[in-house]
A = this chain, B = another copy of it.
Amino acid sequence: MAKSIFYHAGCPVCISAEHDIVNLIGSDNVELVHIGEDRSRIAEAEKAGVKSVPALLTPNGNVLHLNFGASMADVKG
Protein backbone atom coordinates (compact mmCIF):
# COMPACT_ATOMS: atom_id res chain seq x y z
CA MET A 1 0.00 0.00 0.00
CA ALA A 2 1.22 3.48 -0.80
CA LYS A 3 1.97 5.60 2.22
CA SER A 4 -0.22 8.33 3.56
CA ILE A 5 1.41 11.68 4.30
CA PHE A 6 0.69 13.49 7.56
CA TYR A 7 1.37 17.23 7.24
CA HIS A 8 1.75 19.19 10.44
CA ALA A 9 3.36 22.28 11.86
CA GLY A 10 4.49 21.16 15.27
CA CYS A 11 1.55 22.69 17.13
CA PRO A 12 0.10 20.86 20.14
CA VAL A 13 -3.03 19.90 18.18
CA CYS A 14 -0.76 18.56 15.44
CA ILE A 15 1.34 16.44 17.78
CA SER A 16 -1.71 14.96 19.47
CA ALA A 17 -3.26 14.07 16.11
CA GLU A 18 0.07 12.65 14.91
CA HIS A 19 0.15 10.24 17.83
CA ASP A 20 -3.41 9.15 17.11
CA ILE A 21 -2.75 8.61 13.40
CA VAL A 22 0.45 6.66 14.03
CA ASN A 23 -1.37 4.49 16.56
CA LEU A 24 -4.25 3.88 14.15
CA ILE A 25 -2.48 3.17 10.87
CA GLY A 26 1.06 2.37 11.98
CA SER A 27 4.26 4.37 11.59
CA ASP A 28 5.32 2.31 8.56
CA ASN A 29 2.25 3.48 6.67
CA VAL A 30 2.61 7.22 7.07
CA GLU A 31 5.26 9.79 6.27
CA LEU A 32 5.39 12.64 8.78
CA VAL A 33 6.14 16.04 7.26
CA HIS A 34 6.68 19.12 9.43
CA ILE A 35 5.96 21.91 6.98
CA GLY A 36 6.97 24.53 9.53
CA GLU A 37 10.52 23.16 9.40
CA ASP A 38 10.55 21.75 5.88
CA ARG A 39 9.04 24.71 4.11
CA SER A 40 9.95 23.36 0.69
CA ARG A 41 6.97 21.04 1.03
CA ILE A 42 4.34 23.71 1.67
CA ALA A 43 3.62 24.09 -2.06
CA GLU A 44 3.26 20.33 -2.44
CA ALA A 45 0.81 20.21 0.46
CA GLU A 46 -1.28 23.05 -0.91
CA LYS A 47 -1.34 21.46 -4.35
CA ALA A 48 -2.66 18.26 -2.76
CA GLY A 49 -5.50 20.25 -1.24
CA VAL A 50 -4.26 20.83 2.31
CA LYS A 51 -6.06 23.89 3.73
CA SER A 52 -5.00 23.55 7.34
CA VAL A 53 -2.81 21.37 9.50
CA PRO A 54 -2.79 18.76 10.82
CA ALA A 55 -3.98 16.98 7.68
CA LEU A 56 -3.64 13.48 6.31
CA LEU A 57 -3.20 12.91 2.59
CA THR A 58 -4.42 9.39 1.89
CA PRO A 59 -2.84 7.08 -0.72
CA ASN A 60 -5.78 7.70 -3.07
CA GLY A 61 -5.27 11.45 -2.96
CA ASN A 62 -7.98 12.53 -0.52
CA VAL A 63 -7.16 15.02 2.21
CA LEU A 64 -8.53 14.51 5.70
CA HIS A 65 -8.27 17.70 7.71
CA LEU A 66 -8.07 16.79 11.36
CA ASN A 67 -8.79 18.83 14.47
CA PHE A 68 -7.99 22.37 13.39
CA GLY A 69 -4.49 23.45 14.42
CA ALA A 70 -3.35 26.15 12.02
CA SER A 71 -4.33 27.42 8.59
CA MET A 72 -1.82 27.25 5.78
CA ALA A 73 -1.73 31.06 5.87
CA ASP A 74 -0.63 30.88 9.51
CA VAL A 75 2.07 28.37 8.64
CA LYS A 76 3.41 30.56 5.86
CA GLY A 77 3.11 33.81 7.83
Contact residue among B25, B59, B63 (Cβ-Cβ distance under 8 Å from A25): B25
Does A70 sit at the interface, judged by CB under 8 A? no
Interface string of A1-42 (1 = CB under 8 A from B): 000100000000000110011011100010000000000000
A64 within 8 A of B: yes
| Chain A residues touching B, majority SS | mixed
Please tell me if the beta carbons of B67 and A67 are within 8 angstroms of each other in the complex. no
Within 8 A of B (CB), among A29-69: 29, 58-60, 62-68
Report yes or no: A20 in contact with B62, Cβ–Cβ below 8 A.
yes
Q: CB within 8 Å of B: which residues of A?
A: 4, 16-17, 20-21, 23-25, 29, 58-60, 62-68
